[in-house]
Structure 1
Amino acid sequence: MSPLTPTTTKTNKPIPHHLPKTMAKTLTLTLTLLSTLLLLSTTTTATDPELTTDFSIPDGADESKLDGVFFTYTGLRGGAPATTSGLGRKSVSVKDFPALNGMGVSLELLEFAPNSVNVPHTHPRGGEIIFVVDGSLTVGTVDSNGKLYKNVLQKGDVFVFPKGLPHYQANFDKANKAVLVSAFGSVNAGTVALPKNLFGSSIPDEVLTKAFKISADTVQQLRAGQN
């Protein structure tokens, strides 16, 4: 046989043309979770300092006396009842939960009253993944080319917002509330609410009128809405 002649291995085993449904679902879920972990670990490396110990011990704390209570947060037990704005939120941050320090993650619980919106905003220091606990939510994010990616989520659905991109969530159901949990790939992802940061700040009217091609009177009306 010539050394350049390829060899083949014969087998009598049939090659499956499709996976069983249960195996396919398991594979899909596994790939989704791996992708999520990769996203969160990538944003964590880029934004939060890495620990050189197993976990961060608060100043003045005796490590020998720490137990499971230190790693437990109970502040979400009462939910996050919606306020007069239609949106209620409770954040799980390092300020309230010291065990998060150095972990590169944080959490938020949001409750949407019927027909309410979480206005377009960004998180400059971390990606976000949301899980719909109850109800239905319309969500969307816009990339750097201005393309909108949107979907209507139901209870049990998951959606991810890439780090720094503008996004929103809305409950257009006029009778039922919606609840979601947000996880961030940073201990402090930050929030820039676009309406408030643009029209509730001291950006000169001349800049806003030219940027949005609107009148000075319209700018003043938009500013008044942020007070």
Structure 2
Amino acid sequence: MENVFLNSLMVGAVLLGCAVFSALASDPDSLYDYIVAPGVNPANVSADLFTFRAKKADRVAGKLIVQKISLADIPTLDGAGVSMATLYFPPGVANRLHLHPRASELLQVTGGSLFVSFIDTMGHRFDQKLQPGDAFVFPKGMVHFQINLDPKNPAHAIAAFSGANPGTIPIATTVFGSGLSVEVLQQSFNISKESVELLVAANTAPPL
């Protein structure tokens, strides 16, 4: 009888822990039906504040197109805990190594095929080939990428995020385009000065 009681306590503790973790793992719940941006008169709220109008993106050969729909695009996503993006991959093009610090990502292929992968904190890599209708989860904060390995056909995907403002940190641009010293980059990646300079030049945006 005592063992049953102890087991019940342990199960209860685990369930409570899972509930607390789940509550902390996503955006906090809003106390309101919706949140409007500062300066917006609640009396003037209309459907337009909940609407995103698609922007036409010109398809350039060899260029990834990502159309994000996040807090910056729909302010009433504040408190909603969701956002999304549509992605267009020309043949052979990758969505380069990056991470989202504030949200997990669920990506579904809607056309073509994608090879996807993420790396966890133990250095384990999780690779998968996705066909239309297949979906894959990238846990929050994990470095990941997607690439269209098809040399002839484009690929399309939709990504959903567990936060209204997931953020994106592109690895190469952040590391080599941030102005870190050559010495730090050399020692961090164990590469030559010449290699560092090439990578810095390739990942530093030209002045406007």
Normalised by the size of structure 1, how large is the TM-score?
0.74
Q: Secondary structure at the match of 1:225?
A: helix
Shift of the alpha carbon at 1:187? 1.1
Which residue of the partner structure matches residue 164 of structure 2?
187
| Alignment pair present for 1:140 and 2:117 | yes
Instruction: Give the distance between the partners of 2:200 and 2:67, measured in 1 at CA.
Output: 27
User: Percent identity, aligned pairs only?
Assistant: 36
Instruction: Give the distance between the partners of 1:226 and 1:75, measured in 2 at CA.
Output: 29
Q: How does 1:158-197 map to 2 (within 5 A)?
A: 158-197=135-174
Instruction: Give the distance between the partners of 1:213 and 1:226, measured in 2 at CA.
Output: 18
Shift of the alpha carbon at 1:60? 4.2
RMSD value over aligned CA atoms? 2.2
Shift of the alpha carbon at 1:65? 5.2
Which residue of the partner structure matches residue 14 of structure 2?
none
Count of aligned positions = 185
Q: How does 1:96-107 map to 2 (within 5 A)?
A: 96-107=73-84
Which residue of the partner structure matches residue 112 of structure 1?
89
Greater CA drift, 164-173 or 55-64? 55-64
Instruction: Give the distance between the partners of 2:112 and 2:36, measured in 1 at CA.
Output: 39
Instruction: Give the distance between the partners of 1:61 and 1:217, measured in 2 at CA.
Output: 53
Output the amino acid matched with 1:54: D
Quick check: 1:81–1:111 contact (8 Å CA) kept in 2? no
Quick check: 2:27–2:162 contact (8 Å CA) kept in 1? no
Quick check: 2:61–2:90 contact (8 Å CA) kept in 1? no
Shift of the alpha carbon at 1:122? 0.7
Tell me which of 16, 19, 29 is aligned to 1:50.
29
Task: Select the structure of larger CA radius of gyration.
Answer: 1
Which residue of the partner structure matches residue 127 of structure 2?
150
Output the amino acid matched with 1:124: P
Q: How does 1:87-102 map to 2 (within 5 A)?
A: 87-102=64-79
Q: Give CA-to-partner distance per residue, 1:146-193, whole Å, 9 cap, x none.
A: 111000100101100000010000001111111111111111111111
Instruction: Give the distance between the partners of 1:119 and 1:69, measured in 2 at CA.
Output: 34
Quick check: 1:86–1:114 contact (8 Å CA) kept in 2? no
Q: Secondary structure at the match of 2:129?
A: strand
Instruction: Give the distance between the partners of 2:191 and 2:25, measured in 1 at CA.
Output: 38
Instruction: Give the distance between the partners of 1:83 and 1:191, measured in 2 at CA.
Output: 22
Which residue of the partner structure matches residue 73 of structure 1?
52
Please, which runs of 5 or more residues in structure 2 have no aligned partner?
1-17
Quick check: 1:118–1:170 contact (8 Å CA) kept in 2? yes
Which residue of the partner structure matches residue 206 of structure 1?
183
Q: Secondary structure at the match of 1:218?
A: helix
Q: Give CA-to-partner distance per residue, 1:91-133, whole Å, 9 cap, x none.
A: 1012221221111111111101111011111111111111111
Shift of the alpha carbon at 1:210? 1.3
Shift of the alpha carbon at 1:82? 4.0
Instruction: Give the distance between the partners of 2:53 and 2:37, measured in 1 at CA.
Output: 19
Output the amino acid matched with 2:189: F
Instruction: Give the distance between the partners of 1:135 and 1:110, measured in 2 at CA.
Output: 12
Change (3 A) 1:213 1:61: closer
Please, which runs of 5 or more residues in structure 1 have no aligned partner?
1-37
